[in-house]
Structure 1
Amino acid sequence: MEDLEIKKKITIMVAVMASVLFVALNQTIVGTALPMIVADIGGIHYFNWVFTAFMLASSVTAILVGKLSDIYGRKPFILAGLAIFTIGSLLNGTSDTIFQLIAYRTVQGFGGGMIMSTAFTAVGDLFPPRERGRWQGLMGASFGIASVFGPTMGGYIVDHFQWHWVFWIFLPFGVVAFFLIWRLFPQTAQSGKEPIDFAGAVLIAGTIIPLLLAFSWAGTDYAWTSPQIVGLFAISAMMLVFFIWVEGRATSPILPLHLFRNSVFTISNAVGFMMGLGMFGTIMYMPFFIQGVMGVSATQTGFIMMAMTLSNVTGSAISGHIMTATGRYKRLALAGLLVMFGGLGAAACLHVDVATWMVVVNMVVFGFGLGTCFPIFTLTVQNAVQHRLLGVATSSAQLFRQMGGTVGVAILGTIMNGLMGQKLHEITRLTEQLPERVEDQIGELTNPQVLMDHERLARIQQSIPEQTQGVFTQLIGELRDALGYALNGAFLAAACVLFVAFILTLFLKELELKTTNK
């Protein structure tokens, strides 16, 4: 594929980016619409599984397909991924129960994992490392575009149409992407004769699934020291031991262990893991600060977060262009991580009375640093391995970044809850001054989640007698302070992780970006 005419390469990249955008838009549009969907079909207690099922299926599929695409080529898997994802989207729109929705989202996860794994690897097939930076940056921009328009479109659809169209509106997009890939994408099989490592596939799935479930449930559904969480960690550790033993003896391992002896591969994936923690931690918890501490509406929150997305797209495009032009990446990576660290460090200093423009600037800084780094560490992994292992290398980079996000959200949530608990006992003294007949409301006012629901907060205030309004105002003020204090601690922890990533990157060996895939 490297020897194709540039016009055909660009046409293929348009098809690949259309596939990535199809998946990304489906992901971002669902988040806004999900509360309305659950309100219609029920199952609020299983709400998180709609995301967890997709994450588990896509994570496991991506690493497995990475190896298989090295053997049999990218085209069969990106076509299969598009077909499965499109079918999953169609089925999601027909869901009558939360369990059907979870099952169909799992189907989507299998397809999404195939698409993401092969799409980013296809860039490596089409272009040598020296030219990939620009295209990796544009691929990252696809996620940015989806993050900008997806939530807005999701909200518009559920407000003006039936929620089913959230899943159906992009079905023609998937059909067009399938047709383009089928007609334009050449077959790139390496050999097709290597044996499939079924044992390794089962064991790596057995390692990843319990680990991600443990971090998804810990601190929310179960305590960190509960038998369920400890048991999941134990199962994951046991499976990892078996996986290492099997892979060391496999003829064609699903994840060759010798890759971890390559310092560039290992350091790049470790940094990617830490970046995932910082990225998903910020995306997950910054809206809590904006809505809960600052008291800004959900719509305004979307616009503030959009600043981060747009700067992310800009940073990704600039970073990719610089790498292609200069062939250098280490200083760029260090600069991006330092900017991310600065953005999160500043977030750790935000307070209740902070001006909105300061938060926007903060988001722009963090987003630009993230965008600068985003294409780099996939490229460094690809550049450090032989081309026959391109699929394995690319999917491993995606897996570590996604696992970092899952682990990070859980750990930062635990930090936030712990710090919040320290402050809540100081707030309970104020509730004693409120009338006993508002006992239910008092219980709500000791839960920081009430700060995110401004309409419910207004209803509670209206139900409290006028003579205690001053106490109510003081209580809400202290609750906002407590939530801000807890979130500051979570952001500071994430910033420390990014600083470790910066230090680790200092030891990253800067290999010359290859000018050919041969």
Structure 2
Amino acid sequence: MSQQNDAVPDAIPEAPPQKNIWFVMFGLMITMMLAMLDNLIVGTAMPTIVGELGGLDHLSWVVTAYTLAIAVSTPLWGKFGDMYGRKGIFMSSIVLFLIGSVLSGMAQDMGQLIAFRAVQGLGGGGLIVGVMAIIGDLVPPRERGKYQGMMAAVMGIATIGGPLVGGTITDHLGWRWAFYINLPLGVVALFVISSVLHLPKKRIKAKIDYLGAGLLSVGLTALVLVTSWGGTEYDWASVQIIGLAITGVVALAAFIWAETRAAEPIIPLRIFKNGNFSLMNVVGFIVGFVMFGGTTFLPLYQQSVQGANATNSGLLLLPMMLPVMIVSLFVGRVITSTGKYKVFPIIGGALMVLGMYLLSTMGTGTTRLTSGIFMAILGAGMGFLMQTTMLVGQNSLEMRDMGSGSSTITLTRTIGGSFGVALMGSIFSSQVADTLKERSPEAAAKLSGNAQLPPEAIAGLPGQIKDAYFHAVSAGTHHVFLWGAGVALLAFLATWFVKEVPLKGAAPKKKGDGDDAPQAAVEGEAVKA
């Protein structure tokens, strides 16, 4: 990979005045909370939704439609922000997300809910990338770490609290409020952003890359459907899955060709000439792979083997998510203070490998304390990596590519998570089935096709079958986390090739050095977008 463009000469934002940046950050944090909470709250409400609307056979599409829409729209929101101004595009994505939320809450059948969730996802694609790109516009990389660390903390809080909030809302207000709850949060975010966020107006006179947008949409849709349907709706070797995989690869290859000829490409290929940026996309993909795979199968192990209560399932991840929040905040502060960052991805990669390996050693007799320690190690590793990948990636970009680059990093992490859940799920189901056959043919026959049982169903199993199932789940999670450790090792190796290019921007001023921070794009001469 070429390193010649690692230091990009480009105008960078000065550090914003403290009195204003915290108001902006408040609005951005609410928006990030919207993006992270939605799926977690809705997931908790799904049994109640199916009970009222029916359509159990189409249940997976409630999630798939939302995920597909996010994947397809994320690069577009980033590029439109680069072309037409960040503030207006960001607020448009919030409005579209809220419209989708209202319509989803009003759905009268499963078909309507799926369609409205797709609308919600189209808006959701602009939320996270908008937050990160706005931070990139407002704050120089030297100052950016602490703010992005705060966003990581918000993500952790949402992961822990989402299922709890979703269960409480569904039980006391009804499932429709799982969508309506987005309205007050979204309105507050819109008010704050419209009032205090000031960015220079911009408009690039170029045709929208419709061909590239279409090809990228087809490619991403096909690949997300492969990961969503493979091993569940269709066999991995089925005509449908193979056909989707070929379609996805061909469409993405055609997309790359189209981008070399577009006047204003959706994802400018020039950004990948930067070695650090390309490496951060690789690392981000793997972080998504490991994080989403871990958060999917850890609660399953805890509920099935350790007998944890599924009611507050978000709390089961507390030993992992708490270190994510603490370490992210710590790393952000240290990077802001010292300007050094290369050591953090390396430490994070090592801890992620170690954490996944230790989790693979868990068996039927592993205590909750032991598994909690293993989870904390994994969480610390992700805390060192999550926002550092965005920070280093953005430091490698020109300001004109901030939206496209931020959306690309966000997209690779999302796609990594989709692949992680799909591939780990296939490994898990296969290993559970094989272990059941080895330990108890009776259990294999009785539990055929049921690799994931709810706790109440497990409690009703005969002793011998229950014991066989516990060992099968342990074997499944062993292989899942062992494979995860192997994938995480690739990220660890990649981090050693990161070049520590000085972060753009001056070191933050200390108290007594004069005024707070110098004026920036958020006020003064900046024009309201």
TM-score by length of 1: 0.92
CA distance in 2, matches of 1:271, 1:386: 21
Deviation at 1:448, TM superposition (A): 4.5
> In the superposition, relative to structure 1, how do residues 170 and 254 fare at CA in structure 2: closer, same or farther (>3 Å)?
closer
CA distance in 2, matches of 1:202, 1:390: 22
CA distance in 2, matches of 1:156, 1:422: 38
2:103 matches 1:103: no
2:196 matches 1:206: no
Q: Which residue of 2 aligns with 1:497?
A: 487
SS of the residue aligned with 1:298? coil
Q: Which residue of 1 aligns with 2:351?
A: 339
Deviation at 1:369, TM superposition (A): 1.5
Contact 1:2–1:125 under 8 Å retained in 2 = no
Deviation at 1:418, TM superposition (A): 2.3
CA distance in 1, matches of 2:196, 2:190: 10
Greater relative contact order (Cα 8 A, min sep 6): structure 1 or 2? 2
2:506 matches 1:506: no
How big is each residue's C-alpha offset from its partner over 1:150-196, in whole Å with a ceiling of 9 and x where there is no partner? 21111112222321111112311111111111122224344432332
Deviates more, 1:55-64 or 1:394-403: 55-64
Q: Which residue of 2 aligns with 1:435?
A: none
2:397 matches 1:407: no
The aligned amino acid for 1:456 is A
Out of 124, 128, 133, the residue aligned to residue 136 of structure 2 is 124
What percent of counterpart residues are identical? 36
CA distance in 2, matches of 1:458, 1:5: 58
SS of the residue aligned with 2:237? coil
Q: Which residue of 2 aligns with 1:51?
A: 63
2:125 matches 1:113: yes
CA distance in 2, matches of 1:8, 1:296: 44
Deviates more, 1:260-269 or 1:19-28: 19-28
2:175 matches 1:174: no
The aligned amino acid for 1:161 is L
CA distance in 1, matches of 2:18, 2:51: 50
Deviates more, 1:502-511 or 1:19-28: 19-28
Deviates more, 1:304-313 or 1:386-395: 304-313
The aligned amino acid for 1:512 is P
Out of 266, 269, 278, the residue aligned to residue 254 of structure 1 is 266
Contact 1:348–1:491 under 8 Å retained in 2 = yes
Deviation at 1:10, TM superposition (A): 2.0
Contact 2:219–2:252 under 8 Å retained in 1 = yes
Contact 1:71–1:189 under 8 Å retained in 2 = no
The aligned amino acid for 2:157 is I
Deviation at 1:482, TM superposition (A): 1.4
The aligned amino acid for 2:463 is T
TM-score by length of 2: 0.90
CA distance in 2, matches of 1:397, 1:155: 32
Contact 2:159–2:314 under 8 Å retained in 1 = no
Deviation at 1:3, TM superposition (A): 6.5
Deviation at 1:501, TM superposition (A): 0.6
The aligned amino acid for 1:76 is G
Contact 2:164–2:312 under 8 Å retained in 1 = no
The aligned amino acid for 1:152 is L
Out of 441, 445, 448, the residue aligned to residue 429 of structure 1 is 441
CA distance in 2, matches of 1:454, 1:199: 49
Deviates more, 1:61-70 or 1:417-426: 417-426
Q: Which residue of 1 aligns with 2:454?
A: 453
Out of 131, 134, 140, the residue aligned to residue 152 of structure 2 is 140
SS of the residue aligned with 1:299? coil
CA distance in 2, matches of 1:457, 1:494: 27
The aligned amino acid for 1:213 is L
Q: Which residue of 2 aligns with 1:485?
A: 475
Contact 1:319–1:373 under 8 Å retained in 2 = no
RMSD: 1.9
CA distance in 1, matches of 2:243, 2:98: 36
Contact 1:69–1:189 under 8 Å retained in 2 = no
Deviates more, 1:346-355 or 1:137-146: 137-146
Deviation at 1:447, TM superposition (A): 4.9
Out of 264, 275, 283, the residue aligned to residue 276 of structure 2 is 264
Extract unaligned runs of 5+ from structure 1: 432-441, 462-471
CA distance in 1, matches of 2:206, 2:18: 32
Out of 393, 406, 418, the residue aligned to residue 405 of structure 2 is 393
The aligned amino acid for 2:479 is G
The aligned amino acid for 2:466 is I
Structure 2 counterparts to residues 29-428 of structure 1, below 5 A: 29-299=41-311, 301-428=313-440
CA distance in 1, matches of 2:261, 2:181: 48
Deviation at 1:300, TM superposition (A): 6.2
SS of the residue aligned with 2:362? coil
SS of the residue aligned with 2:311? helix
The aligned amino acid for 1:484 is S
- Give aligned pairs, total: 496
Q: Which residue of 1 aligns with 2:4?
A: none
Structure with the bigger percentage of helix: 1
CA distance in 2, matches of 1:414, 1:228: 17
Deviation at 1:380, TM superposition (A): 0.9
